[in-house]
Structure 1
Amino acid sequence: MHPLSRSILARVLLSAMLVLLPAVGAGLLMATAHAQPPPPDQPSLTLPWQELGLSSEIFLDPDHPSSFTMPVPTGLTAVRLSGTIAAPLNIDAGTLVITGNGNLLAAIDLPPGATSRPATPLDVDLSAAGGGGSSVDLTFDIRPRFDPQYCGPRRQLVLNNLATVFTGIEVAPTTIANFFPTVLQRATIFTPTDADADEQQAVLLLVSTLARLYQNQPMVISVVNQPRGATPPPADQLARTILVEKGGTAGLKVENRDTPEVFLRVSGSGGELSTQVSLLANQLQALAQVDTVRVEQAESPAAAPSGDTMTFRQLNIEGQTDVIWTSSLSVGVDRASLGSDRVDGVQVHLLADYTPVARDDAASVVIRSGGVVVYRAALDNTGLLDATFDLDSEKIGQFVDLDIALTYTPRETCGALIAPLTFQVDPRSTLTVHRGGPPLHGFGAAPSEFSPSFMVAMDGTGPNQLAYVARLVASMARSSSKPLSPQVVDLNTAAAASTGALIVANAEALKETALDPPISGDGTTVEVGVPTEVRVDIAGGLGSIQAFADQPRNRSVILVTTTAAWTLVDPLFSYLGGLNDDLSALKGDVLFAGAAGEPTNLAIRTTGDASDTAESPQSLSRSIAIGAAVAVVAVIAMAAAVLWSRRRRTSRGSAD
């Protein structure tokens, strides 16, 4: 080729590359969507979506874009979204489009599920979403290729391990309104070591309030004793410090505002302390855009719907889904939302609208509650479902859950004329509750048996009793949609009352009451009902958390106790911490440990739940191991011995 021709060709190719490279480069950046690392002087913080109050795993389908509001702490900027893309399910190929505040953030190619890797890293630059706001609205949309009309099995894409990277430093609060941020990792409440009942009452009301306000976040609430008059230490980023101490003018005050040493002071005398906390309990703190506020009168939280019949609209129950072949829908409400009186049964009158089913098509609905089928029917051309069925206490547990499975088989083959069946729950549906029944036994009694209010008593024999109570109050408040109000009283009042009670007292103090817990005793002497009472000597004593039905007083009780030192209880709360302080994760009615500090969770008395029956001789025998001196093994061995002895006496009687 002539040198001049080669020169012209080179210039032409260079011009073409200059035109094409920006577009190609943009496409590559859009697909990989990598964020630039933050500048060296900008500290970064990575928060899993769970800590933002969102699920760390989301399920996407091509027919419905999914939107999420991601909170952004004040002073921080969201710069990157990370996670993992699982292999697409029944998606031949397509694009995952992610937008933030309406701006395109990424368009990621999805290879066919059969050829894609099991997991692909997700890394999306969030800068195009814009900064400075208190949240970012993210939308995920799957756009399949080559199949505008799809009638096959359900298509799905799963994103998991989602987390957001933030840069910046959180701004210290300056007012009551902005003291508690949208994202909070820890709240530490300081109170005097010699706190009186009014101070304890305010602390526990604050614990219950914060646990409910942040129930979608794994926020840690701690109660710490300190000398009266001391100033609490500063909190870390995304943490807050509160001081509850009587004295001075009643009110809430942001001390050391706009500094790292900032904390919230709750002050006043007597019941004024709890009155100040009511501003938070009623979620009115946004009105207090000042650093000091005084609440003159506490307003009672909104009550649950009155009466025994409640509509789905009143209970905020709603649901809708589209069906081709199969689909499912779950709706429900927690037991505490059904009123303060005990519920031992529910009648459901379920109304729903759906696309009328053509004569040659077929559709059906199956409804389960607690894993048991409670209703089934074919869907017809009326487009209306009117179903009535009953749920007993065993089916509802702490939640009234309705799992609705739908099928729809159209006569048409897949094509442009086919359309999904739409099924929507009518808000005029009702729940009619039947009041009454015996008190619930075991850890499954919380929180409904303690809603809306319950008594709290501490005998004062241990230094960390208020911290123990706070952990349990927070656990119950997180699992209740309604506010819980703990009421601090003395031990004798709580033991003799007919309302739910949370009691922290040693075994010696409990002997002066009429309470009959599954495990009792004093010192090294431990008494266990399995089901008859037996007594055994255990060196070092036993610490326990127990939940039981107090039948004579028609209520449920949670008891934290020890037959010896209070240090025996500490391993139990460490064990509970491993369960995210979730009481509902415990089975049976007792969590206990001996001097070896080995927590064991079992059922001493039957609860009426098949999964929480009392230990059988066989299962107890299997639990016995070498080292019978350990308290845990001693108790289990003791129970087995008693039951075996009773069986032997029965066998001898039959032989005679």
Structure 2
Amino acid sequence: MTLPLSRRLPRLVTALAVTASLAVLPGVSPAAAEPYVEAVAGPSVTPAIGWAQLGLSDRMDIIGANLPADVSVPVPTGVTPTLLTGEVGSIVNVTDGRVDVIDGRGVVLGVIPLPAGAISVPFTIDTSAAQVVDGRTRLSFVVRDTGPAATTCTQPPAVTLSRLATTFSGPAPDPTTVAGFLPGYLDHVVIRVDPAPSPAVAQAALDLVAKLTRLYRPMPVRIDVSTGAEPGVVSLQSLSGTTRVIDIRDGGRPGITVENPGTPAAVLAITGTGEQLATQVGLFTDRRLGLAQGNSATLVSSREASDVSSTVKTFGQLGISAQASVVGTTTLYTGFDAAAFGVGAINGAAVHLKAHYTPVVGGEGSVLVRSGDTVLATHSLDGSGTLDITGDIPAESITSNVGLAVELRYIPRQDCPPLSDRVTFSIDPQSTVTVRPGAGNRGGFAALPMAFTPDFDVAIDSPEHLRYAAAALNLIAQQTQITLRPRVTQLSDASSSGSSTLVVSGGRGLADAGMHPPLLPGAADTVDVGSAPSSAATTLVDLHAPLGMVQAFTDSGRAVVAVTGTGDWTLVDATLDHVRGLPNRWGSLTGDVVATGIAGETVTLSVSEGDSMPHQPAPGEGWQWWAWASIAAVGAAAVAAVATVLIRRRRA
């Protein structure tokens, strides 16, 4: 949660004192096709990927014995789900019990013990034998209990599984062919370009980042662009088997070639002149790469099918599905990716929910649909067995990942009926979500990535900063099903285009382009806080230390992400690494600024946008002092605790 500036002063003053004290301590010719050879046979294992990253709830409440709770886990191409991990807790009314984990064939994959009196116990289940059908593996969780059979008048057995995550594995051999260069799992891809890449090379590199990120989603593969000297010559001995290196070289015949095949030093070279490079990158649009089973290939022409943009999508198209069997009360948790519509930022949505359920005759049943704290609709369950209701999601509930909760209640007519007297409720995949495009939402980080789908501008002030744009793009693309389409342009052109923009620039470049970020870097180590034209006053802070920051804000009605810094730009790397380490990347952030100071402390601020709606009234003069304290705690932490801070107020 991002606290308002007025509530962060005690925490940040403490951080200033501690970190300031710590800071003073010492401190290519085409070759003939060759058969694909696995030079390294051992499989590579992913880190545990939380179910939230896979589009699932990472928590499951199981109520009642011998009643399966089902879930369908997506499995990316080329890998196998090997481990299921999590924690079991909230064990209620269970005598000598366990949870059986069963796949879609009815095969028991493993057992989770339920020790009496335990608060929370971690578990690991080997799922390597689980059946995978159409890219998904179905798992059922069933509580087994030796206690007496429960009724609705007694407390049934209940457990909670939380922090659910899946580990995948797959072969990552030293590649010999173009098709084999990208295995089912990687953890890192390095794209190398010249130290001063041309606009065509920059465009090809960012296109490749977007395509590879989409190709490996939902696995969060890190993709970096390196502008180091002499691409193709840098030593690869230190790289792991789950890292791949791709060179983009401006010049020569257009094509894609594996160099040093069958060795850890294998490199995939993409060559061509000007727009030919972007054409070759088109081979990575999807798994069509698997057709290139020699050690070289050339894409002669390409016309990619664009993602269909629409304001209306069905639940089936959005991947929303849920079913539950209920007696008493239960809640189905689901949601949708706002970026999947491909219309940019949205400021509202209408949900048309259809469902089928066991007809309720004699008993009482009801359903309540909500998004966050907003109730969208309520309805009684009756003898018809069908549900058809609508509800509106307001702007204050809109983020890039919109959650939906369906709360079900069923009370049988019979006194103390068995738990088998239940109602089964299933959401119809023909239910729809209709979105309203517009920027009038919470803004800030909550608008990522939806505001950048599918097309947006990228403006970079100097070639060596290409890697920052690539890192930000990689993190944005990890959060959406849509393949992003960046357009490299000049900052002067981007500022007048009206399109969403990713900017990598110093403060002068932002100011010259007429942009007004929440924090505008000035001369030396100064930062202008609250520089938006709507602000009655601004505050200029001399931090006496560098600062690296990423900001998400609205400028002239369009979304902007600005990657910028003062002085030491390695602090920008630290800020991006902080975002990369969060469970949901940008989705874990609120507010509109994330910044790292010289002492390495990263904080998140809400200067103008990204917090709860409706927005606060126009701030008074006291707000400027809270903003100063927050920013100073980040930037001045590395200097003496008595560092002098100069403040100048200006009237707009």
TM range (shorter): 0.7 to 0.9
Select the residue among 432, 445, 455 that pairs with 2:457.
455
Which one of 247, 251, 269 corresponds to residue 247 of structure 1? 251
* Matched residue type, 2:193: T
In the other structure, the counterpart of 2:290 is 286
Look up the match of 2:588.
585
1:91 aligns with 2:101: no
Structure 1 residues 148 and 387: alpha-carbon distance in aligned structure 2, compared to 1, 3 A threshold: same
Assess if the C-alpha contact under 8 Å between 1:87 and 1:116 holds in 2: no
1:50 aligns with 2:49: yes
- 1:244 partner letter: I
Q: What is the rounded CA distance, in whole Å, between the counterparts of 1:393 and 1:70 in structure 2?
A: 30
Partner SS, residue 270 of structure 2: strand
Deviation at 1:319, TM superposition (A): 2.1
Which segment is superposed worse, 444-453 or 289-298? 289-298
Q: Where does residue 523 of structure 2 map in the other structure?
A: 522
Contact 2:109 2:127 in 1 (8 A): no
- How do 1:32-71 residues align onto structure 2 when only pairs under 5 Å count? 48-50=47-49, 59=60, 61=62, 62-64=66-68, 66=70
CA–CA distance in structure 2, aligned partners of residues 328 and 588 of structure 1: 29
Deviation at 1:624, TM superposition (A): 6.9
Q: Distance in 1 between matches of 2:112 and 2:607?
A: 56
Measured at CA, do residues 223 and 516 of structure 1 come closer, stay the same or move farther in structure 2, by a change above 3 Å?
Answer: same
Find the residue that maps to 1:353 and give its secondary structure: strand
1:122-158 residue CA offsets vs partner (Å, 9 max, x unmatched)? 566789889xxx9998765544445566544463353
Matched residue, 1:219: 221
Q: How many pairs are equivalent?
A: 590
Structure 2 partner of 1:550: 555
Deviation at 1:328, TM superposition (A): 1.0
Residues 420 and 287 of structure 1: CA distance in aligned 2, closer, same or farther (over 3 Å): farther
Which moves more between the two structures, 399-408 or 340-349? 340-349
Q: Tell me, in whole angstroms, the C-alpha distance in 1 between the residues paired with 2:551 and 2:630.
A: 26
Q: After the TM superposition, which residues 147-546 of structure 1 pair with which residues of structure 2 at under 5 Å, given as runs?
A: 151=152, 152-153=155-156, 155-156=158-159, 158=161, 170-234=172-236, 235-306=239-310, 308-340=311-343, 342-359=345-362, 361-415=363-417, 418-438=420-440, 441-460=443-462, 463=464, 465-520=465-520, 521-529=522-530, 531=535, 532-540=537-545, 542-546=547-551
Deviations 1:73-109 (A, max 9, x none): 989996x877765574443344544567969676648
Q: How far, CA to CA, are the matches of 1:232 and 1:419 in structure 2?
A: 68
CA contact (8 A) 2:89 2:161 kept: yes
Offset, 1:338: 2.4
Separation (CA, whole Å) in 2 of partners of 1:391 and 1:245: 48
Identity %: 30
Counterpart residue identity of residue 272, structure 2: G
Residue in 1 that maps onto 2:28? none
Q: Give the Cα–Cα distance (whole angstroms) in 1 for the partners of residues 353 and 77 of structure 2.
A: 41
- 8 Å Cα contact 1:541-1:631 kept in structure 2: yes
- Write the letter of the residue equivalent to 1:572: T
Distance (whole Å) between structure 2 residues aligned to residue 377 and residue 460 of structure 1: 58
One-letter identity of the residue aligned with 1:49: A
1:282 CA displacement:
3.3
8 Å Cα contact 1:572/1:591 also seen in 2: yes
Q: Is the 8 Å Cα contact of residues 98 and 145 (structure 2) preserved in structure 1?
A: yes
- Note closer, same or farther for the CA distance 1:625–1:329 as it changes in structure 2 (3 Å cut): closer
Cα distance change of structure 1 residues 418 and 358 upon mapping to structure 2, 3 Å threshold: farther
Paired residues of 2:445 and 2:610 also in contact (CA < 8 A): no
How much has 1:399 moved relative to structure 2? 3.2
Which of structures 1 and 2 has the bigger CA Rg? 1
Q: Does 1:562 pair with 2:565?
A: yes
1:392 Cα offset (Å): 2.1
Cα distance between partner residues in 2 of 1:76 and 1:385? 38
Deviation per CA, 1:402-433: give whole Å up to 9, x if none.
21111101022445695211112223322233
How far does the alpha carbon of each residue in 1:25-81 deviate from its partner, in whole angstroms, 9 at most, with x for none?
xxxxxxxxxxxxxxxxx9897754328986896747442265777979989996x87
Inter-CA distance 501–408: structure 2 relative to 1 (3 Å threshold): same
Distance 1:536 1:416 in 2: 68
CA contact (8 A) 1:252 1:265 kept: yes
Question: Structure 2 CA distance, aligned partners of 1:67 and 1:569?
Answer: 39
* 1:15 alignment partner in structure 2: none
Taking a change above 3 Å as real, the CA distance of residues 507 and 411 of structure 1, as seen in their structure-2 partners, is: same
Q: What one-letter code is carried by the residue in structure 2 that aligns with 1:516?
A: H
Query: Aligned pair in 2 of structure 1 residues 278, 70: CA closer, same or farther (>3 Å)?
Result: same
How has the CA–CA distance of structure 1 residues 213 and 518 changed in structure 2, closer, same or farther, with 3 Å as cutoff? same
The amino acid of 2:229's aligned partner reads P
Higher RCO (C-alpha 8 Å, min separation 6):
2
Question: In the alignment, residue 555 of structure 2 is paired with which amino acid?
Answer: D
Q: In 2, are the aligned partners of 1:504 and 1:561 still within 8 Å (CA)?
A: yes
- Structure 2 gaps, min length 5: 1-40
Alignment partners' CA distance in 2, 1:169 and 1:509: 46
Is the 1:588–1:612 contact (alpha carbons within 8 Å) kept by the matching residues of 2? Answer: no
- Deviation, structure 1 residue 335: 1.6
What is the TM-score of this pair, normalised by structure 1?
Answer: 0.77
Q: 1:290 to 1:615 in 2, by over 3 A?
A: farther
CA RMSD of aligned residues (A): 4.3
State the Cα deviation string for residues 252-287 of structure 1 (Å, max 9, x = none). Answer: 223223222222222222122222222222332233
Partner of 2:579 in structure 1?
576
SS of 2:413 mapped into structure 1: coil
Distance 1:625 1:348, change over 3 A: closer
Amino acid at match of 1:205: D
The 8 Å contact of residues 350 and 392 in structure 2, kept in 1 or not, is answered as yes
Is the 1:587–1:612 contact (alpha carbons within 8 Å) kept by the matching residues of 2?
no
| 1:135/1:228 CA distance change after superposition, 3 Å | farther
With over 3 angstroms needed to count, the CA separation of the structure-2 counterparts of 1:222 and 1:581, relative to structure 1, is farther
CA distance in 1, matches of 2:440, 2:129: 58
Which residue in the other structure is 2:6 paired with? none
How far apart are 1:110 and its partner, in Å?
4.1
Cα distance, 1:210 vs. partner? 2.2
User: 1:5 maps to which residue?
Assistant: none
Write out per-residue CA displacement over residues 309-336 of structure 1, whole angstroms, 9 at most, x where no aligned residue. 4333343332221111011113322222
The one-letter code of the counterpart of 1:337 is A
Distance 1:46 1:490, change over 3 A: closer
Map residues 604-615 of structure 1 onto 2, 5 A cutoff: 604-606=607-609, 609-610=612-613
Aligned equivalents of 2:339, 2:565: Cα separation in 1: 30
For 1:141 and 1:353, the matched residues in 2 are separated by 24
Does structure 1 retain, via aligned residues, the 8 Å contact 2:46–2:187?
no
Deviation for aligned residue 1:385: 1.7
| 1:124–1:386 Cα change, 3 Å | closer
DSSP 3-state at the match of 1:265? strand
Change (3 A) 1:171 1:74: farther
Q: 1:466 to 1:615 in 2, by over 3 A?
A: farther
Between 279-288 and 580-589, report the one with greater CA deviation: 580-589
